[in-house]
Structure 1
Amino acid sequence: MHLNLIDLLKQKVSATVLEGETAYLSEKSQALSNFIPILLSIFKSKPEFITNLQQQLNPRLGDIFIINPSLKQEFLQQISGTVPTEIIESTLNHSIAPTLGVLEDEAGSSDSSAITHLIENHWPAVSSALPHWAPALLSALGMNTASGQTLHQAPPIDPDRVPEEKRKSGFLIPLIVFLVLAALLAFIFKSCADRTESTPASGIPAETASSEPAKLQLSTGSTGDLITCQLYSGNASYIEILQKEIKQIFNHNTGCGVENNARYHSEFIDQDVIPTVLKMVKGVPNASLTWMGDQLAIQTAHPADAEQLAAQIRPLVKNMTVLTPAGMQSASAVVDPDTAIATGNSNAEQALAEINPDQIRALDIATALNMQIINFDTASAEIPDANKSILDQAAALIKRVPQVHLTVKGHTDAVGGAEQNKALSQKRAQAIVDYLVKQGVDPAQLQAVGYGSQQPVADNATPEGQFKNRRIEFEVLNTETGIVRAVDNEGVVEKKIN
């Protein structure tokens, strides 16, 4: 059998459900990896669910747990980890219809018997992908993952004995059912609580206290190819995602050596821009990179190469300090504004030019726009000429994808009154929106918000800090969830709309 049904579903359904998503990406992917084999097991045991869900315009998780609604919330708490359960539930809801679509395509029919036959043919792959706690859950739903038959089938009832049986078992049956369900649920949560070490890819990350920051170390050889790589993290699902990225970026079959241990943090600071940074490192000869905590250290054989690389990376890792051998200067060190503007704008133009017009994502556009520096003159909302060509490029792309919605955020330094600064930041953000609209962008795709000096990224006591605080930022608006995400590459910060 050449086709692995689970791998096919992971590829097709995840791509469909998660396209354009950025928040909790690894957790959502892990939840889908756990849910899909469970869903197939339910289809195998109860084919009538296939027909019922096919008849629903938007099949939901509640349609599956209709047998035992009280278990749905327990299941969501188990599968969601630290992510709000309503977010994971929405992701799983959106995955049901695409999963049915793939199964129908592979079975060559929408008939439930054809789909269950397909699942049975691929049962070894399905059963091996089930999380360790799934059998208890399926049993609680009255299903047997081994045989595919429902459990606890009642024997035929003799109508003449019904009154007598009711008298004898009227109190016992509810008590037995309660005890069985309580025992099964206790097993589910105990099995999760007992896992204090690293979790396999098919399970749920253990929630134990971590004391050391996650760490990524790698080096390149004389041709810029990957030579050594080591990854330390407490998040098994993210390790899998990053490993795949590293193998693809460097065309390297092995990728990184891995230590998955609960003592390491489960997330890197600014971790969603790691792939972009690694693409910058690729091809740089004899370079080494260490990503740990809030510091990113870069070394190269020639100091000039390290400085050039650091200048490209700093606009992306806004919550980190980039260190180089030349005095190990930090990202907050004194920089020449003209040089910073020229470098940022050049990077933005290049990033926009590299976007495939036939495969445009909101994240890519926001990433490129956030690389530029829009340096307004004092007390002015006039867009500098240096930025207009960048906005022209962005407008041409945005017009091709009406689903892209951007929020333009204006910020000022702390010089002057708070109210005046807020009004000025609003005017500057609106000026960007107005310019994009003049280039043909639908006004409904854009909104301007001014924050004044309320959200500084540097010390306002220095000219360098004031320069960094006078900025424009672009965010991707998820219109379905009402969540705004500040994006550098794959999404870093999320917050509810004010």
Structure 2
Amino acid sequence: MDLISLLKERVIPIVLKGETTDLTEKSTALAEFFPFLLAILKGKPSLISLFQNNLNPRLSDLFNTRSELKDQFLASVSQQVPQDEIEHLLNRSIPATLNVLEDEAGSHDPTVIQHFLEQNHADIGAGLAPWAKAILAALGLGTLAGTANVTSQPVASPTHAPIVEEQKKSNFWLPLIALLILLFLAFWLLRSCKNNESTAPVTATENTANVNQQPAYFQISTDHTGGLVTCQAKIGDPSFIDILQKEVKQIFTHENGCGADSSRHFNAALVDQNSLVSVLKLLKGVPNVSMIWTGNQITLQGADTAALQALADKIKPLAKDVQVVVEQPAVLDENTAVTSSVDKAKEALSQIDPNQVKPLDIATALNLQIINFASASADIPDVNKSVLDQASVLMNKVQNVQLVVKGYTDATGNAAANKTLSQKRAKSVVDYLVSKGVDPSKLQAQGFGQENPVADNATKEGQFKNRRIEFEVINTETGTVRTVDEQGVEKTN
């Protein structure tokens, strides 16, 4: 299968997922965009690195300052679909296209990808529409479109008859190419007028469709070492979510990444989300901090106000259209904290589609709750049982997955006794889920006692945070279940 056909097969279904209107026109636009995009990446390999480091690449990046050429391009591919809708679609296709190129080239290295594009030069050139070649020529990439520069040919001489003949052929095509460009410009001007006439009603319709959308949302928190503890993303762009997951896993060296919701209930982009990767890199290593990014505000929370303010000062130049707020730590009310956490967990579980259950989303929702066991007790508080009831129904719908329940305590008391208590608490949760019909093979209890604290044990608030139950999914991407036999040897089934 040639490269352009491969992109049509693998990228179009991803980008059009959730679309319900003008599917034929949108598929055609994407098909015409692929060879154009590849031709530019081949001619300007610096764009490959730019797009790889940008979570939200834009069509305008291909045209640099030549906005009039971008308008011409959109007028050519949009057909009867509003141009801004097509532009959003093409923006979303860029990272998905890069993913395919990286897979096929076998490397993330831009030099390797460029070499791969060179190898597929013929397929790229064959897929270019005539009007696309004219735009590439205007961008200074005419040779990529198969348009030779006739002025570079050798001067004719009597002893070079074939060269003279070839030059005559080239000169014959020049007026025809100029005529095609003029016809294209006339067509673009006509289409622009028609699009301007229909702009007002289209905008009104789009605004109506977006009224019920919630702002995009991203939340992340770190432990006492600055490692990842929890992460949630609610952004209505599946392609962006895929890229975000890869970045979070790589930056924090974390196997599971974020719990995510890419449905259209949420806006397709965070404000200033191009800076998100840079912000995550700043956040890594900062202990016990929580960041919430939604609407036009980033909120930083944590006990060390000075460290938070230093972090905020570094974020502000990166996310210039977002207000960065540092919240002072509040006096902990344990009952309020538990009730609020349970409500958040219930809400997160209720948003999981029962027909498309992802184990990682269940674990993420369960990690939102606080299970505040009574002192020296392994009895599950009644307030948490309703959350576990919801989770058990969803757990019964997934196969080939194992949920690990991890128990932790604070550092008060004997370390050995704390480890035993944490194991009992984790097993208590497992037993409760089994009593609700969850297959025991899907569950595993582990006790860690006072190991791996997430807060300072010197304070009551820190002790409260360290007394916790965490949920982790093993091998969510492969579906492989890992177990430990009676000799303590790990097995993979």
Instruction: Give yes or no for TM over 0.5.
Output: no
* Structure possessing the higher radius of gyration over alpha carbons: 2
TM-score by length of 1: 0.42
TM-score by length of 2: 0.42
